[in-house]
Amino acid sequence: MASPRVQAFAENLKKFNIYPVIFTRHWNGNENEWTDFLKENHHQPTVTENKMFTVYRLPYHTNSKFDKNTTISKPLRKLYHFINPAIGKFNTEVNAYKCFYNFLNNHLSKNHYDAMIISAPPFNTVRLGHELATKFNIPLVLDLRDIWQGLLVPENSKPDFKTKYFLYFNRRYARKWFASAKLITTVSEPLAEEIKSVTGKQAIVI
């Protein structure tokens, strides 16, 4: 995950005798704008180890033909993005779930971990953590960055239909996927309150 929070975990957990293993994507190294972060990288998985942590870097590919094929009509593209939340597909333009699931499923079947920390957004990483932690019986920790704020509770007192539609499925799947978390952390008190009101789960503000 490209996040200062994850970097901080990687650099500081060793102080508490915790040796983290980080799973992220390959980066090209010249990402400056949002479109740069969406570019594919087909390098094979690599592993880097040091005294503080281990990093696995995985290939990254665009989610689907709808994201790749610019000849698909605008109405079909809109329909595709409209249906996705209803079936639990979020942030498909940065779909860590699709890119990481098979590798992690195979890795976890052969390696034991005491806990799994998921940093989100994107929302699909929460789905990834929920499914893998449940399957392999690993305690799940969700660390939710403050840019999540407003994704569970409308910022406008009179949201339009589109906002209500996406909020409904955001909340529905949040309740489902957050349920498996043993611990939820955030740095935002308002976000912690949103999580509590929507999922019933108490988030710890750090």
Q: What is the per-residue pLDDT across 175-196, written as a single tens digit (0 to 9) for each?
A: 999 999 999 999 889 889 989 9
pLDDT digits (tens, 9 = 90+) for 96-135: 898 999 999 999 999 999 999 999 888 899 999 999 999 9
pLDDT digits (tens, 9 = 90+) for 153-168: 766 678 888 888 988 9
- Most confident among 76-85, 89-98, 99-108 (mean pLDDT): 99-108
What's the pTM value of the predicted model, to 2 decimals?
A: 0.86
Mapped onto helix, strand or coil, the DSSP state of residue 192 is helix
Taking CA atoms, 33 is separated from 12, 13, 39, in Å, by: 29, 30, 11
200: its two tokens: 């019933």
86: its two tokens: 């209803």
The dihedral formed by the CA atoms of 166, 87, 130 and 132, expressed in degrees to the nearest 10: -150
Strands 116-120 and 140-144 turn out to be parallel
